Amino acid sequence: MDNNFKSLTLKNIKKEFPGVLALDDVSLEAKAGSVHALMGENGAGKSTLIKILAGAYNKDQGRILFDDKEVNIDNPNDSLNLGIKVVYQEIALIPEFTVGENIFLEKFPVNSLGIVNWKKLYNDCNNLLKKIGFNLNVREKVANLSISEQQIVEIARAIFQNASVVVMDEPTSSLTPNEIEKLFEVIENLKKNNIAIIYITHKIDEIFKIANEVTVLRDGKLISHRDIKDTSEEILIQDMVGRKVEQKFDRPVKSFDKVLMNINNISTKSKLKDISFNLYKGEILGFFGLMGAGRTELAKAIYGYDNISNGSIDIDGQTLKKFNTQTMVKNGVGYVTEDRKGEGIIKDMNLRENMSLPSLEIFEKLFTINKNKEKKISNEYIDKFEVKTPSSERLITLLSGGNQQKILLSRWLIRNLKIIILDEPTRGVDIGAKTEILRLINDLAKDGLSVILMTSEMNDLLTLSDRIIVMAGGKISKEFDRNEATQEEIFKASVI
């Protein structure tokens, strides 16, 4: 371990993606023997910053200083050589190897013949774990460990690799309170060993337990950097959400009377616990929740993509207990995924074919698809939503994210739809297309379509939703009406 290490400093970092300024003049200093917490909403720029540190992205502007000496991080190797170790949420260990083998993976202790000295390996490993204050059977297979123990192994690996800076990305998201306590003890020991820690979390209470200082990002900008003594929960929430509602849509407060769908006590095996709500005709029902709150899981459960273990759904007076996506599509429900590339577009198809996929029977004449009609209607939507494409016959992969999203929305609008579930409809979409998509959602609701809108964009949520349901830990934590919701209240409900 490099005991002379004092600090790693990021100065005026700028990173731009097409249409999005992900980081705008952000600075951060990680000091040895100290925990620097990094906070912000989804999409605030935290992961971009980490990826620059890890060498996965290259910064556009700015400097990185290692003990006041400027360094370059062009690739993951540079980052590792500097002693920066990122512990991601997804564990990257080899499950069938033992704790010791995983920790010493890059550098097994060998004799001159190249034969591994197992005794030395496991002894060293024990000493290493002792150093960070953790007891673990070093000969145990990693597959048999709990998630928190696996995270400890990752951290131990970082220390074995002489890490000076350990970055932890939401390390407690899947841990029990007991395990969290253990992790905190390990972090305390890391501090004693002169390691700098960058700690990313949504959970405000954790910050006050372990962090020395905290930086808040919002929309890629540095909002605040404070010593932990000089801040409070209220101040942090203010920093994270404190932005003006920018875009007003013509959406007056009104009450709805016709219930279109009842969700009754829905649970799933993996995440959701006892979720109930109503959806009115012509309403935009917003859902907010931080990473891991269970929003996408809820969307997929309602839509029949994931099986529910309990509960039922009433649509138009009929009660559904077992249903799949076919049932839902037949009942006039549509779904636009948050994972456009993985679950949305069909890469081998053109715009027209992507658009008409769920509604081919509309275009059918005696078993044959009437391609002229199909072209006509898809061109109508291409014009209506100003999709930038020379023709409906272009492969969808050749379009930008925003234009792909418009096609995926049109996929449902060409058919007779009652309810549309939109999961992060503006994710990865440039500002121009974003505004268009939001206006479109507003217009659809005005025409009587019910919209379930799941988004992390507080601004979109507040300007469009007639009601807002906040989720946390797979449950509904609070429900707001349009006129009573504020950013602070919503955020508070989401960090419970």
Nearer to other proteins, 213 or 374 (CB): 374
DSSP tag of 133: T
Q: Taken in order 233, 234, 235, 239, is the CA torsion positive or negative?
A: positive
CB of 186 to other proteins, least distance (A): 38
d(CA 454, CA 276): 16
Q: Which stretch binds other proteins (CB under 8 A): 34-42, 74-82, 392-400, 456-464?
A: 392-400
What tokens appear for 215 in the block?
């930086």
Q: What is the DSSP string of 180-240?
A: HHHHHHHHHHHHHTT-EEEEE-S-HHHHHHH-SEEEEEETTEEEEEEEGGG--HHHHHHHH
Q: Does 286 bind other proteins (CB under 8 A)?
A: no
d(CA 35, CA 38): 10
Is 215 in contact with 225 (CB distance < 8 Å)?
yes
- Over the window 411 to 450, marking each residue x when it contacts other proteins by CB under 8 A and - when it does not, the resulting string is x---------------------------------------
CB atoms within 10 A of CB 317: 5
Nearer to other proteins, 242 or 358 (CB): 358
CB of 395 to other proteins, least distance (A): 7
Q: Does 348 bind other proteins (CB under 8 A)?
A: yes
d(CA 216, CA 63): 20
Q: Does 117 bind other proteins (CB under 8 A)?
A: no
Q: 288, 303, 323, 385: which one contacts other proteins (CB under 8 A)?
A: 303
Q: 24, 251, 305, 427: which one contacts other proteins (CB under 8 A)?
A: 305
CB atoms within 10 A of CB 109: 14
Q: Does 94 bind other proteins (CB under 8 A)?
A: no
d(CA 112, CA 125): 21
CB of 243 to other proteins, least distance (A): 33
CB of 398 to other proteins, least distance (A): 6
CB of 367 to other proteins, least distance (A): 5
Q: Does 18 bind other proteins (CB under 8 A)?
A: no
Q: Which of residues 311-340 bind other proteins (CB under 8 A)?
A: 324-326, 328-330, 335, 337
Q: Does 234 bind other proteins (CB under 8 A)?
A: no
Which residues are CB-contacts of 144 (< 8 A; sequence separation ≥ 6)?
none
Q: 4, 112, 255, 368: which one contacts other proteins (CB under 8 A)?
A: 368
End-to-end CA distance of the chain: 38
Q: Which stretch binds other proteins (CB under 8 A): 27-35, 64-72, 285-293, 341-349?
A: 341-349
Is 92 in contact with 157 (CB distance < 8 Å)?
no
Q: Does 369 bind other proteins (CB under 8 A)?
A: yes
Q: What is the DSSP string of 45-112?
A: SHHHHHHHHHTSS--SEEEEEETTEEE---SHHHHHHHTEEEE-SS--S-TTSBHHHHHTTT---B-T
CB of 41 to other proteins, least distance (A): 27
Q: 255, 317, 347, 372: which one contacts other proteins (CB under 8 A)?
A: 347
Nearer to other proteins, 452 or 461 (CB): 452
Is 174 in contact with 147 (CB distance < 8 Å)?
yes
CB of 22 to other proteins, least distance (A): 23
Q: At what angle do helices 147-160 and 118-131 cross, to 10 degrees?
A: 100
Nearer to other proteins, 154 or 338 (CB): 338
Q: Which positions touch other proteins (CB under 8 A)?
A: 303, 305, 324-326, 328-330, 335, 337, 342-350, 353, 356-358, 360-361, 364, 367-369, 393, 395, 397-398, 411
